[in-house]
């Protein structure tokens, strides 16, 4: 039972353009969502989070949008930079469990 | 403030041997989580521990796997009688008490069973 899904395994974007990474979930009981970035041979690094009571959170070039009715969230990176090339995981959690449920990841490649 | 420290970074074991993976959480963090990433898959939750207590082990295989987080020292994930299917990257994360939603991850231990 995959509660958090990232249906695009890869995405290729030109430098300077917008990158949009998508994530869908099935459990309406999640309280918060996070995006992590992962380089090869390293652990995931936290990027940005959003509470289920909000629909948008912004931090510099990164913005996360949450559509609760559609059970969908997206991460926008603008402008995209070559250093953004990595695997991006979305994750969801609930306050009563403290564990994160991860999607399978989307590999983003930003080319010059 | 050192981050989450995992060792070893790489571990090779023959089938049937035991693997011990260590995780030292960030200073001040009392919650530890173990995740496993199989090739071409996302991170799968295994177990959530606080000092001397297993809070949630719903993601742990029923046999051969165990975890502990003693009062002193690092958290240990122990895999007995390893099989080829145990080959994966094992990540540890920690968070402080009191409800921070953000978990900080270590660099992982890549276990290879030959």
Structural contact between residues B5 and B24, judged by C-beta atoms closer than 8 angstroms: yes
Nearest residue of A to residue B4, measured between CA atoms: A43
pLDDT tens by residue, A36-77: 999 988 899 999 999 999 999 999 999 999 999 999 999 999
pLDDT score recorded for residue A39:
92
Mean pLDDT estimate for chain A:
94
Residue written as token pair 């403290």: A98
Q: Which residues in chain B (69-88) have CB-CB distances under 8 A to chain A? A: none
A-B interface: how many C-beta pairs under 8 angstroms?
A: 60
Residue written as token pair 């540890």: B92
Residues lower than pLDDT 70 in chain B: 1-2, 98-100
User: Between A95, A99, A104, which is nearest B45 by CB?
Assistant: A99
| B43 with A97: Cβ contact below 8 A | no
Catalogue the E-assigned strands of A1-112.
4-5, 10-14, 19-25, 32-38, 45-51, 56-59, 62-67, 72-77, 86-93, 100-102, 106-111
pLDDT score recorded for residue B83:
97
pLDDT score recorded for residue A50:
95
Q: How far is A99 from chain B (nearest CA, A)?
A: 7
User: Between B41, B102, B108, which is nearest A34 by CB?
Assistant: B102
Dihedrals φ, ψ of B5, to 5°?
-110, 125
Structural contact between residues B67 and B77, judged by C-beta atoms closer than 8 angstroms: yes
pLDDT score recorded for residue B57:
93
| B33 with A99: Cβ contact below 8 A | yes
Mean pLDDT estimate for chain B:
92
Q: Which residues in chain A (35-74) have CB-CB distances under 8 A to chain B? A: 36, 41-46, 49
| A41 with B107: Cβ contact below 8 A | yes
The CA distance from B25 to B106, in Å, is: 8
> Distance from CA of residue A24 to its chain's centroid?
10
Q: Which long-range contacts (CB under 8 A, 24 or more apart) does A3-6 make?
A: A3/A27, A3/A92, A3/A101, A4/A90, A4/A91, A4/A92, A4/A101, A4/A102, A4/A103, A4/B42, A5/A103, A5/A104, A6/A89, A6/A90, A6/A103, A6/A104, A6/A105, A6/A106, A6/B42
B4 touches chain A (CB under 8 A): yes
**What residues contact A82, with CB distance under 8 A and at least 6 apart?**
A15, A110, A111, A112
pLDDT score recorded for residue A97:
76
pLDDT score recorded for residue B60:
95
| A14 has a pLDDT exceeding 70 | yes
pLDDT tens by residue, B20-33: 999 999 988 889 99
Is residue A1 very low, low, confident or very high in pLDDT (cuts 50, 70, 90)? low
pLDDT score recorded for residue A76:
98
Largest Cα span, chain B: 42
B5 touches chain A (CB under 8 A): no
């Amino acid at each position: 039972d995959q509660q958090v899904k990232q249906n695009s395994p890869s995405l290729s974007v030109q430098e300077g353009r917008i990158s949009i990474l998508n994530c869908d979930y099935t459990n309406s009981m999640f309280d918060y969502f996070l995006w992590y970035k992962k380089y090869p041979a390293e652990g995931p690094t936290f990027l940005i989070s959003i509470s289920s009571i909000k629909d948008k959170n912004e931090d510099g070039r990164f913005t996360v949008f949450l559509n609760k009715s559609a059970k969908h969230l997206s991460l926008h990176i603008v402008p995209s930079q070559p250093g953004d090339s990595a695997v991006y995981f979305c994750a969801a959690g609930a306050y009563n469990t403290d564990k994160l449920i991860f999607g399978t990841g989307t590999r983003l490649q930003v080319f010059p | 403030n050192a981050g989450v420290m995992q060792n070893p970074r790489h571990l090779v074991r023959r089938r049937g041997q035991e693997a011990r993976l260590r995780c030292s959480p960030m200073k001040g963090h009392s919650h530890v989580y173990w995740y496993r990433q199989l090739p071409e898959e996302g991170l799968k939750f295994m177990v959530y521990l606080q000092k001397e207590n297993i809070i949630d082990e719903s993601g742990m295989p029923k046999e051969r796997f165990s975890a502990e987080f003693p009062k002193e020292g690092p958290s240990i994930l122990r895999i007995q009688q390893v099989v080829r299917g145990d080959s994966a990257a094992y990540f540890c994360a920690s968070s402080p008490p009191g409800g921070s939603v953000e978990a900080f991850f270590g660099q992982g231990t890549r276990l290879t069973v030959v």
